[in-house]
Structure 1
Amino acid sequence: MIYVVIPVHNRRELTRRCLECLAAQTYPHHQEIVVDDGSTDGTSEMIRQEFPNAIVLRGDGNLWWTEATNVGIRKAQELVGATIGKDDFLLTLNDDTEVKPDYLQTLLDTEWAHYPCVVGSPSVDIDEPEKLEFAGTKMNLVLAGGHHIADDYGRSYSKLVNHAAAIETDSLPGRGTLIPMEVFQKVGLYDSVRFAHYMADVEFSVRAQKAGYPLWVSTKSVVGEHVKATGIFLQQRPGWADFVKSFTSIRSPTNLTVRYHFAMVHSKTKLLYFVLDVARICGGFLRRKFQPA
């Protein structure tokens, strides 16, 4: 069984489209667990009416992504019971995504090819399906270096999928990641104390890799992402005010407190890593800010 955990908040139409994709899957053994964190737009009511087999759990609006996901994981653990089988998996998925009917099956194909492992999805801009947004990362946990594997393929999805069935990566996001249920027994849940909204997924994947579970990206398991609906939309030329705000916003992947915690938990150089990481973020901002039009 694949337990699909989807945190949602006030995005009823996006949630509907996501659940419609899951209802059309060729792989039949899946259970959706939607954690509605305080929606006021009728999201829960829509799910109960249109997707009666989905489990809906409610939050008070203060769970954010990480704890909402943990609520769903705990429910999945309750459903599995004390004995976790080899066929029991959890899939983390965001509500602003759409997938093809063979999505779950292709994830499982990659899982069985490299079992036991954690399998993630490449993502594309849903408005530009050829535009590759994510295909894995190469991380340097000493000097805060690395790069996005999507750049190796010119940000072209067709080049990626024609190159390999799966690519090993150093981290994975929560946007379409298949995890054997046994992993949670060994490494725990997502860290909602230090990573309330952003980087909890990356941190968890690094933790799982250190525990002996390789991380793979299944190139056929592509996720269409509503890019402009995610968190703080990273504009090509962000303003100074937005850049400064990003250092403290809970909705920002460049939140300094979050980056600091990651450095302290996973880098051998700790404070040096944090300083270099912040310098890299600032350098990226300046390049985007002053690049020729």
Structure 2
Amino acid sequence: MISIVIPVHNRKEYTRQCLACLTAQTYRNFQIIVVDDGSTDGTDTMIQEEYPEVVLLKGDGNLWWTEATNCGIRYAQQHEDHQQVNFILTLNDDTRVNPNYLQTMLDAYDQYQPCLVGSISVDSDNPNKLEYAGTTFELYTASGRHLAEDYKYDYRELIRQTDHVESHSLPGRGTLIPMQVFNRIGLFDSKNYIHYMADIEFSVRARKAGYRLIVNAASLVYEYVAATGIQVEKKITLKQFIDGFTSIKSPTNLTVRYNFAIAHSKTKVLYFCFDIGRICAGFVLRKVRLMKPL
């Protein structure tokens, strides 16, 4: 049984199209758990009327991604059928997937277990543009890179070279997690990672516990890039960049990145300084490139 956990907030149309993709899956042993964290746009009514089979849990708007996801996982744990193998699939609503998506995830798990299985992300408007294919990083100086670079951000090039990528972390945007992993290492850390990096931190814990982190080339998530929140690569102003250091919605939130450095890096505060230095340098370099004449 796969329990698909989707946290949502005021994105009714994205939620609707995501649910439509999931209900068309060829693999049928799954349930969908939507955690609606205080939506005011009629998301809950739409789900109840159009997808009555979906388990709908509600929050008050203060759960954010991490605790909303944990709520869905706890529900799945409480209703778990111990006579079969059980999984959690974390997924965001601003995505769509192919009808064979769940089957490809299970096939990869069967091949590479014990593991967590992540998804390839491509641009929904340009499906050959590779947005995510795993990451590599080290825990001393915060250096690392996106493995999509190895394939020139080209999905056709990736599948020409390999059927999977082994990653150092996995995002919550399409990751299949055996239920036993939660029993072993706990849930997502909603105390230290309210919205961002809880997925990365969880996958790092899982890797330390001996689980491989596999990104399966056949498991595609079509990502609505413009809807994924604050994008550190986009053209943002200096004020927006600085505000990102304190925003819950920002992947560059200083508290979150400090918590990760202290919990998982080899050099603690030094790692944190390297990490923030890398983020600032990246922002400056992007500004310099924009200033250069064509």
TM-score above 0.5, yes or no: yes
Q: Which of 156, 181, 184 does residue 182 from structure 2 map onto?
A: 184
Which residue in 2 is equivalent to 1:138?
A: 136
Quick check: 1:39 aligned with 2:39? yes
The alignment-based identity, stated in percent, is: 58
State the Cα distance separating 1:13 from its structure 2 match: 0.4
What is the rounded CA distance, in whole Å, between the counterparts of 1:76 and 1:187 in structure 2?
A: 17
1:238–1:289 contact (8 Å) kept in structure 2: no
Distance 1:237 1:54 in 2: 38
Q: Conserved in 2, the CA contact under 8 Å of 1:35 and 1:59?
A: yes
- Report the secondary structure of 1:28's partner residue: coil
TM-score (normalised: structure 1): 0.97
Q: Which residue of 1 is the match for residue 12 of structure 2?
A: 12
Query: Which of 230, 235, 243 is matched with 2:228 structurally?
Result: 230
**Residues 1-293 of structure 1: matches in 2 within 5 Å?**
1-80=1-80, 83=82, 85=84, 87-291=85-289, 292=292
> Runs of 5+ in structure 1 lacking a partner?
none
Following superposition, the deviation at residue 279 of structure 1 comes to: 0.6
Aligned-partner residue type, residue 50 of structure 1 = E
One-letter code aligned to 2:101: Y
Task: Give, as a single letter, the amino acid of the residue that structure 1 aligns with 2:38.
Answer: G
Deviation at 1:174, TM superposition (A): 0.2
Q: Distance in 1 between matches of 2:36 and 2:93?
A: 11
- Consecutive unaligned residues of structure 2, counting only runs of 5 or more, are none
Counterparts of 2:282 and 2:236, CA distance in 1:
11
Counterpart Cα distance in 2 of 1:113 and 1:149: 21
Contact 1:84 1:182 in 2 (8 A): no
- Report the more deviating stretch, 109-118 or 229-238: 229-238
For residues 189-219 of structure 1, the C-alpha deviation after alignment (integer angstroms, 9 at most, x for no partner) is 0000000000000000000010111100011
Give secondary structure in 2 for the equivalent of 1:209.
helix
Counterpart amino acid of residue 209 in structure 2: A
Deviation at 1:237, TM superposition (A): 2.7
1:24 partner amino acid:
A
Measure the CA separation in 2 of the matches of 1:236 and 1:92: 26
Deviation at 1:233, TM superposition (A): 3.2
Aligned residue pairs, count: 291
Q: Which amino acid aligns with 1:220?
A: A
CA RMSD of aligned residues (A): 1.0
- For residue 84 of structure 1, report the CA deviation from its aligned partner: 6.9
Q: Determine if contact 1:205/1:215 at 8 Å carries over to the other structure.
A: yes
SS of corresponding position for 1:107 = helix
4+ runs of 1 displaced by more than 4 Å? Answer: none
CA shift for structure 1 position 236: 3.4
